[in-house]
Amino acid sequence: MNTYKLPGFLALLWASLLAAPVFGDIVEKQVQFDNDLGSAVLYYDDSLKQPSAGVVVVHEWWGMDDYTRSRAKQLAESGYSAVAVDMYGHGKIAQHPKDAKAFMSAALENPELMHARFNAALSVLASAPNVDPNRHYAIGYCFGGAVVLNQARSGANLAGVASFHGSLGSEQPVAPGVIKAKLLVATGADDPMVPAQQVGDFVVEMSNAGAELELLSFPGVVHGFTNPAASAKGEEYKMPLAYDAHADARSWQALLAMLAGD
């Protein structure tokens, strides 16, 4: 792993890209931020020459694990640059829901640090080859879905934000005109962690804010439906977690349509 410091790491990142490991045409680049900002992994297709969208990917409450990185790599395989960012810092990966809850709670108690980590990931994205500066997106799963939606609520200059089985609630509804990003929200209609009342309140909030929203609600689907490991974890920990192939494929297609500008 190569180590860079903020600020000033971007020039070094540029210089080191030629030495990055290549998997086919997909480049994987580890980036370590300074101080308490944690780390990220950049993926892009080295063969592409035309500018395309770039995406920040934020993990589930388990932490930045193999699943998170696989989604970022999948985006690179689809022709986009992607940065998977560790919002917990220091590579924390939960093995039990109690640990995941503790990690998530600690992160949520320091929104300024999370914001700094997100912006650091955006800086890495901006440095990647062939990323269109007007097409920065952010996606998140579970905890990460709430993170990226709150970035949109803060008025972040993003082209679009997508939340997959993420929490939709907010203590302070966003004011009209603040949200710049298009919004894609995919949720399970039978997810007790994101109940119907919360979904309804979110739709009202976004309507009042004048936000452009696409909402996908999948009947019979519960939490974690994009993650193939969710079913086993749901059974092990007696939680409403289960993978759903249809909801996964349909929500991913909607994301790719957003990134393509459809």
For residue 52, what pLDDT is reported? 94
* pLDDT at position 63 over 60: yes
For residue 18, what pLDDT is reported? 35
For residue 131, what pLDDT is reported? 95
Query: What is the SS3 assignment for 63?
Result: coil
For residue 155, what pLDDT is reported? 97
CB of 143 closer than 8 Å to CB of 120: no
* DSSP structure class, residue 88: S
For residue 16, what pLDDT is reported? 38
d(CA 68, CA 183): 20
For residue 48, what pLDDT is reported? 85
For residue 36, what pLDDT is reported? 76
Query: What is the SS3 assignment for 170?
Result: coil
For residue 21, what pLDDT is reported? 41
* Domains of the chain, CATH where assigned: 9-260 (3.40.50.1820)
Give 106 or 36, the one with higher predicted confidence. 106
Average pLDDT in the 123-132 region?
A: 92
d(CA 142, CA 40): 18
Q: pLDDT tens digits, residue range 210-243? A: 999 999 999 999 999 999 999 999 999 999 999 9
The pTM is what? 0.90
For residue 2, what pLDDT is reported? 34
Phi first, then psi, for residue 238 (nearest 5°) are: 55, 50
CB atoms within 10 A of CB 19: 8
For the sheet with 52-58, list strands across it: 22-23, 26-32, 39-45, 81-85, 52-58, 131-141, 160-164, 182-188, 213-218
For residue 254, what pLDDT is reported? 98
d(CA 46, CA 35): 30
Q: pLDDT tens digits, residue range 3-48? A: 333 343 333 333 333 334 444 589 999 999 987 799 999 999 988 8
Percent of the chain residues topping a pLDDT of 90: 83
For residue 262, what pLDDT is reported? 63
